[in-house]
């Protein structure tokens, strides 16, 4: 058996625990089939941690993550905590864990499954061949700049500051160039350099680093134009690299191209192999506890973990193949079903995928 990898498991809120349970079954199946070994430790995080521990990110959960080789996260948040003060919001825990674990790079692939094209709101001919990755800077920019309120001449003012230093830009941009190298060798750097100083530093840095990657074709796209081009010519993008807030917005847009946010996985990485893996979708409180959530995004996040953190390419491929096989056979959860009356539940979908995993 290969060395045992420690996985920190955080189910979180809403449908989080339901989809994570299926992803764990998938990991256990790869132990049987490929001889890998995993040890799972569970921790509280998000709304449930606020309820039980009085903080969205308890110290013991953070320590558990730091001692692990990778983190598998479900989702956090829900209406119950929406009107809480900032320190007692699940989102604050999410930002805190990213920062504390040094996860500066968020990788969100958006690829269109052929058999699900009809689920998108875009015309199939526009989507044809769409397979892109948004590489989002995750621990800088306006999310983490100084924030405060003050009394101005015309009443109360609120201030959010956006700061980027050249090192923060350089490390994410290098990572994006490296990823582009392993794919179609096209990188779109997205900024607002016609207005923002942080974007001008971003663009200068990208141009300087591009000299080290002459084999990668680079384009600079202004963020407003990028939002438009994503709908107009999604297939022409390969890797998109951008700052924290632009990446937040564009990755949701890119996700919707595929018509099925329930299918999309993501990785958050730092300098080394360690990573946090989670579905792009949220905690979906409206369908929590009903056993109808789509577990595929979380299962595909395991495939990403195998590839990016462990280098278990055989098992990653087996998982992706199993998902495709089950979808090609016509099985659908409610979110991606055309005929909702034939939809299957979370556990049934998980089982079908587990059973389709083989060497």
The residues binding ligand IPM (CB under 6 A) are: 91, 94, 248
- Per annotation, catalytic residue among 13, 29, 36, 192: 192
Q: Does 278 bind Mg ion (CB under 5 A)?
A: no
137: contact with Mg ion by CB under 5 A? no
Active site residue 192: yes
Q: Catalytic: which of 13, 191, 238, 248?
A: 248
Closer residue to ligand IPM (CB): 31 or 91: 91
Helix (H, G, I), strand (E, B) or coil at 215: coil
| C-alpha span between 213 and 276 (Å, rounded) | 27
Q: Which of 28, 117, 185, 252 is catalytic?
A: 252
Q: Rounded to the nearest whole angstrom, what is the least distance from the CB of residue 94 to ligand IPM in the complex?
A: 5
147/232 with CB nearer ligand IPM: 147
295 is annotated as contributing to ligand binding: no
DSSP state, residue 344 = B
Q: Binder to Mg ion among 248, 257, 305, 322 (CB under 5 A)?
A: 248
Instruction: Say whether 91 counts as a known binding-site residue.
Output: yes
Distance (Å, rounded) from C-alpha 242 to C-alpha 248?
A: 9
SS3 13: coil
- Residue 311 assigned as binding residue: no
Q: Which residue from 119, 130, 15 is spatially nearest to 336, judged by alpha carbons? A: 119
Min dist. Cβ of residue 237 to ligand IPM (A) = 18
Residue 81 marked ligand-binding: yes
- Least distance in angstroms from the C-beta of 37 to ligand IPM: 30
CA-wise closest residue to 283 among 31, 11, 59, 55: 11
Checking DSSP bridges between strand 155-160 and strand 147-152, what pairing results, if any?
antiparallel
| Residue 123 bears catalytic tag | no
69 is annotated as contributing to ligand binding: no
* Residue range at the interface with Mg ion (CB under 5 A); choices 106-114, 148-156, 242-250, 326-334: 242-250
Instruction: Judge whether 358 and 33 are in contact, CB under 8 Å.
Output: yes
Q: From the list ligand IPM, Mg ion, none, which binds 94 (C-beta under 5 to 8 Å, kind-based)? A: ligand IPM
Count other Cβ atoms within 10 Å, centred on residue 345: 17
- Minimum separation from the CB atom of position 280 to Mg ion (A): 8
Stretch that binds Mg ion, among 82-90, 240-248, 263-271, 288-296 (CB under 5 A): 240-248
Other CB atoms within 10 A of residue 12 CB = 30
The site for Mg ion, by CB under 5 A, has a size of 1
Q: Which does 91 bind (CB under 5 to 8 A by kind): ligand IPM, Mg ion, none?
A: ligand IPM
Tokens 């089950």 locate to 326
Task: Supply 24's token pair.
Answer: 């764990």
Q: What is the DSSP letter of 88?
A: G
Shortest Cβ 234–ligand IPM spacing (Å): 19
Catalytic position from the list 5, 69, 143, 277: 143
Q: Which candidate in 212, 224, 314, 328 is catalytic?
A: 224
Q: Are strands 105-111 and 131-137 parallel, antiparallel or unpaired?
A: antiparallel
Q: Is 265 helix (H, G, I), strand (E, B) or coil?
A: strand
Active site residue 224: yes
8 Å CB contact between 327 and 113: yes
**Nearest by Cα to 109 from 262, 299, 313, 255:** 255
Cα 331 to Cα 139: distance, rounded to the nearest angstrom: 38
Q: Give which of ligand IPM, Mg ion, none residue 31 binds (C-beta under 5 to 8 Å, depending on kind).
A: none
Q: Tokens for 64?
A: 């558990």
Would the annotation count 294 as a binding residue?
yes
Q: How far is residue 46's CA from residue 327's CA, in Å, rounded to a whole number?
A: 32
Choose the one of Mg ion, ligand IPM, none that binds residue 320, judging by a C-beta under 5 to 8 angstroms depending on kind.
Answer: none
Whether residue 88 is annotated as binding a ligand: the answer is yes
**Cα-to-chain-centroid distance, residue 112:** 16
Is 155 marked as binding a ligand?
no
CB of 98 to Mg ion, least distance (A): 12
Q: Which residues are annotated as catalytic?
A: 143, 192, 224, 248, 252
Per the annotation, where are the binding residues for substrate? 98, 108, 136, 224
Numbered residues of the known binding site? 78-91, 98, 108, 136, 224, 248, 252, 282-294
Residues at the site binding Mg ion, with contacts judged by CB under 5 A: 248
């Amino acid at each position: 058996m290969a060395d045992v990898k420690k996985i920190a498991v955080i189910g979180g809120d809403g449908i989080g625990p339901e989809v994570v349970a299926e992803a764990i079954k998938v990991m256990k199946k790869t132990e049987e089939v490929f001889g890998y070994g995993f040890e799972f430790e569970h921790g509280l995080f998000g709304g449930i941690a606020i309820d039980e521990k009085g903080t969205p990110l308890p110290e013991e959960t953070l320590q558990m993550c730091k001692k692990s080789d990778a983190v598998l996260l479900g989702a956090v948040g829900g209406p119950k905590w929406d009107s809480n003060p900032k320190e007692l919001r699940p989102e604050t825990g999410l930002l805190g864990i990213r920062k504390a674990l040094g996860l500066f790079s968020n990788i969100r692939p958006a690829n269109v499954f052929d058999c699900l094209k009809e689920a998108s709101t875009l015309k199939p001919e526009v989507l044809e061949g769409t397979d892109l990755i948004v590489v989002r800077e995750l621990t800088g920019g306006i999310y983490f700049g100084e924030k405060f309120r003050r009394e101005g001449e015309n009443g109360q003012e609120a201030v959010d500051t956006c700061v980027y230093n050249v090192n923060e830009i350089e490390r994410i941009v290098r990572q994006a160039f490296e990823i582009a190298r392993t794919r179609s060798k096209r990188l779109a750097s997205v900024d607002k350099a016609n207005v923002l100083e942080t974007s001008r530093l971003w663009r200068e840095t990208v141009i300087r680093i591009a000299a080290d990657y002459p084999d990668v074709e680079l384009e600079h796209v202004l963020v407003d134009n990028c939002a438009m081009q994503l709908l107009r010519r999604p297939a022409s993008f390969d890797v998109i690299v951008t700052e924290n807030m632009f990446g937040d917005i564009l990755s949701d847009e890119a996700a919707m191209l595929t018509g099925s946010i329930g299918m999309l996985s993501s990785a958050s990485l730092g300098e080394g192999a360690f990573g946090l893996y989670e579905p792009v979708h949220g905690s979906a409180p409206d369908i929590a506890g009903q056993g109808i959530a789509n577990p595929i995004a979380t299962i595909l996040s395991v495939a990403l973990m195998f590839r990016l953190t462990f280098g278990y390419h055989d098992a990653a491929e087996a998982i992706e193949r199993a998902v495709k096989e089950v979808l090609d056979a016509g099985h659908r959860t409610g979110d991606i079903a055309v005929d909702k009356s034939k939809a299957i539940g979370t556990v049934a979908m998980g089982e079908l995928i587990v059973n389709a995993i083989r060497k």
